[in-house]
Amino acid sequence: MIPKSFEYFEPKTLSEVVGFLKKHKENAKVLAGGHSLIPMMKLRLAAPQYIINLEPLRKSLSYIKVGGKSIRIGALVRHAEIEHSQILKRELPILPAAAEWIGDMQVRNMGTIGGSVAHSDPASDWPVVMLSLNAVFTLYSGKKRKVPASKFFIGPFTTAIKPYEVLTEIEIPRLPKRHGWSWKKFERKAGDFATVNVATLILPKDGHIGSASIAVGSVHYRPYRVTEGERLLKGAKPDLELVERVAESAASMAEPTSDLRGSAEYKRHVTKVFVKRSLIEAIERANLNLR
């Protein structure tokens, strides 16, 4: 299908972008990479009157920087840049691993991390990863506002971004070199949205699990943390019985809907299976003995 007609702008500064958004409010949409917004426009699921392309700002909003206690990623960094980043492969390998699973090569070469998280599709990948990493999003409206991932994803295609704000940066706390991680995604075919996706982080301490972070997506109206499971893991020595209990906890939190990717019952089962696999892999990468 062909999108409805719209007016197109290419502002040269963030202040211009904010000015357009304040003027046109809900009638305007920001274009970061186009692989979320444009398909919706072609299907007439979105029909903005004004499109504001951020491409002229790429130089200032496309970067990966490591310093102090955090990793900072500009909103216009493309998926492929994350996938091939040597800095991230060394510092936070879960990010390149997740990027590799996003769409196909064309999508990864054009789509941006900022556009993906701002779109907040319940079945997309970055929201799950960002939630597991306790990421913080910087929103600009003439002044900066920081929102943690736990409060950023409100619901399907809905975030904490206000109509006059622009997502400019994602800040992620640096992890110790010795940590376990896992990214698992189950999809019907290569490049598809997930039936379920799971991001797991394990920080070891004295042969035990010091802390754990498990985020699940695609089986709820927004990504969620497996809070009860994380509580069970904290300070524990990992064993298969514990892993099973955590996986069951994750599945009990799921609220999937039946669709072409399977029934709700099937999705709950798959959630349990993939949380279990993800947790085992993260524990092994943390060099902990799994009994």
CB-count exposure of residue 59 (10 Å: 0-12, 13-18, 19+):
exposed
Residues 208 and 154 in one domain: no
Predicted TM-score (pTM) of this structure: 0.94
Residues 122 and 262 in one domain: no
What angle is formed at CA 259 by the lines to CA 255 and CA 261, rounded to 5 degrees?
95
Residues 35 and 140 in one domain: yes
Q: Assess if residue 290 is contained within a domain.
A: no
Cα–Cα distance, 171 to 207 (Å, whole number) = 29
Q: How many domains does the chain have?
A: 2
Tokens, residue 199? 């991001």
Residues 31 and 45 in one domain: yes
The region that residue 262 occupies, defined by phi over 0 for left and psi between -120 and 50 for alpha, beta otherwise, is: left
Residues 76 and 110 in one domain: yes
Residues 265 and 161 in one domain: no
pLDDT in tens, the chain (291 residues): 688 899 999 999 999 999 999 999 889 999 998 778 888 888 888 889 999 999 999 999 999 999 999 999 999 999 999 999 999 999 999 999 999 999 888 899 999 999 999 999 999 999 999 999 999 999 999 999 999 999 999 999 999 999 999 999 999 999 998 999 999 999 988 777 899 999 999 999 999 999 999 999 999 999 999 999 999 999 999 999 999 999 999 999 999 999 989 999 999 999 999 999 999 999 999 999 998
66 three-class SS: strand
What is the domain-level CATH number for residue 219? 3.30.390.50
Q: Assess if residue 119 is contained within a domain.
A: yes
Q: Assess if residue 17 is contained within a domain.
A: yes
Q: Say if residues 113 and 75 touch (Cβ distance below 8 Å).
A: yes
Q: For residue 4, what are the domain limits?
A: 1-54+63-174
283 three-class SS: helix
Residues 165 and 204 in one domain: no
Cα–Cα distance, 148 to 129 (Å, whole number) = 13
Residues 210 and 135 in one domain: no
Residues 109 and 134 in one domain: yes
Residues 92 and 43 in one domain: yes
| Closest residue by Cα to residue 164 from 25, 9, 10, 50 | 25
Residue written as token pair 């951020």: 54
Quick one: DSSP state of residue 68?
Answer: T
What is the domain-level CATH number for residue 81? 3.30.465.10
